[in-house]
Structure 1
Amino acid sequence: MELQGMAALVTGGTSGIGRAAAVALAQRGARVVISGRDAGRGDEVVREIRAAGGEADFLAVDLRDEASARALAGRARELVGEVDILVNNAGVYPFGPTEQTTGQDFDAVYSLNVKAPFFLVAELAPDMAKRGRGAIINVTTMVAEFGAAGMALYGSSKAALVLLTKSWAAEYGPSGVRVNAVSPGPTRTSGTSGMGDDLDQLAAQAPAGRPGSAEEIAEAIAFLATDRASFVHGAVLPVDGGRVAV
């Protein structure tokens, strides 16, 4: 129960990595606020956490711009008072050729993957800094680190989040706020189920030779949220089955 007495906000917490992260933080004693667009799935996660003895609430929100991000931060504060842990997990991951990408596609990806985390941090990090403690964990991707055909839009948006992780660590770290990221590799979730054999083939290139699970990624997120990572600032932790090594 190392997060007892703390409150966490997990965006995109209704499925996949976000859901697993919310459960993992609640298991460690945090009161968890989950945000997402699907109220049915959100309520299901809340019931799961509460049935296990944890504390959780769901906020329905469509994160897409500055206003929605700031509004979510405000609603979370109304529920829990102070947000001690922010997990920027919500994101979209479209693949496809650059020449087939529209301006609307581009704006949608950058609005959710970059703009929303930016203004959530703008709202919540200053309060963490005033209290002298806090943890922010951004969820990026291994394709933010290298070029991959068909992943220019998604990879570049997450590469922006990698740089923001380091910039925020420099900005808020001196005030006691730790900002880090996890960089998942191929992960088996409901969102990647449509990839079929492509997911396995991508995962086979790494030493682990298999896709990861959402729970494995969540363990890394939980670690970065706890005092066990007290000397970790501005790090991007690869949780990719070793793909970073090859």
Structure 2
Amino acid sequence: MQGLTDKVVAVTGAGGGIGSAICGRLRDEGARVYALDLVDAGGGEFVRTDVTDETSVRAAAETVVERAGRVDCLVAGAGIVEDDVPAEQMPAEQFDRVLAVNLRGVFLACQAFGRHMLDRGQGRIVNISSMSGNHVVNTPQKQCAYNASKAGVSALTRSLAAEWAGRGVRVNAISPGYVDTPLLSLKRHQFDQWLGNTPAGRFARPEEVAAAIAFLLSDEAGFFCGSELLVDGGYTLI
């Protein structure tokens, strides 16, 4: 990908299966990657960050800028899935917790890192939403909080893109379907149904999600603004 060499990139949720693949791909492209998470998973220069805590996220942004002199790109990828509870029975605290990580965390990261980008008049942000934000998956799994949080990420992406494109910061999103990670393996009892509904006949590989992100951060996607790339093997087509 053109334009990623020597770019300073912050990645939230860097310790997960998708996050580590993103960090690896961006390092391969020549970027200087800062891995933001609660635990150091070896995905880059580690900065401990709690995306639900405003002070922690702001401190992470300041740390990256202090170490690297600037920040060029952000991948806001921290997220959790912990629903599996019918909506009428879900504790409000559980709903709040999912939105705190998946939506509020994306906003805080975009705000903290976006300020530095706006000051320089240039920057690139990719938020990780989900096909579930626009397409409610018809499975026994109950995930109203997750779906709501990811729909919020998609709307937030479009809002920030509209506000910041004219100031040199482009904001886009990707929406993965089912990705072959250790987290997905906990749901093996649903594999047959999910695969049966996926025209591609398999789950996405983390590296394929990382490739989509590398593209949106690259110079080649220079006119993308508020776009949302589906990486779902056709799941949402049927």
TM tier relative to shorter chain: over 0.9
Unaligned runs of 5+ in 2: none
Matching residue within 133, 144, 152 for 1:144:
133
Tell me the residue number matched to 1:16: 17
**Partner residue, 1:80:** 68
Match of 2:53 among 48, 53, 65: 65
Please give the alpha-carbon distance, in whole angstroms, between the structure 2 residues aligned to 1:163 and 1:136.
14
1:193 aligns with 2:159: no
Cα shift readout 1:36-70 (whole Å, capped 9, x = no counterpart): 1223xx23x3xxxxxxxxxx301122322322222
| Distance (whole Å) between structure 2 residues aligned to residue 68 and residue 111 of structure 1 | 14
Separation (CA, whole Å) in 1 of partners of 2:191 and 2:39 = 25
Structure 1: gaps spanning 5 or more residues: 46-55
Conservation of the 8 A alpha-carbon contact between 1:35 and 1:59: yes
Aligned residues: 233
Mapped contact 1:66–1:115 kept (Cα < 8 A): no
Q: Percent identity?
A: 38
Question: Hey, what does 1:202 align to over in structure 2?
Answer: 194
What's the offset of the Cα at 1:5?
2.1
Q: Contact 1:5 / 1:31 at 8 angstroms: preserved in 2?
A: yes
TM-score when normalising by structure 1: 0.89
1:221 corresponds, among 206, 213, 216, to: 213
Q: Please name the residue that 1:232 is paired with.
A: 224
Give the Cα separation in 1 of the matches to 2:192 and 2:4. Answer: 35
Q: Given the alignment, which residue of 161, 167, 176 partners 1:169?
A: 161
Q: Does 1:131 align with 2:120?
A: yes
Q: Which of these residues, 232, 235, 238, is aligned with residue 243 of structure 1?
A: 235
User: In structure 2, how many angstroms separate the alpha carbons of the residues matched to 1:207 and 1:58?
Assistant: 38
Deviation at 1:140, TM superposition (A): 0.7
The residue aligned with 2:82 is: 94
Question: 1:89-138 deviations in whole A, cap 9, x for unaligned?
Answer: 00101232112321221121111111121122112213212322211000
Aligned residue number for residue 7 of structure 1? 8
Paired letter, 1:206: T
C-alpha distance in 2 between matches for 1:95 and 1:213: 23
2:34: which partner in 1? 33
1:155 alignment partner in structure 2: 147
Aligned residue type for 1:233? C
The list of structure 1 runs, each at least 4 consecutive aligned residues, that deviate by more than 3 angstroms after superposition, is: none
**Secondary structure in structure 2 of the residue aligned to 1:14:** coil
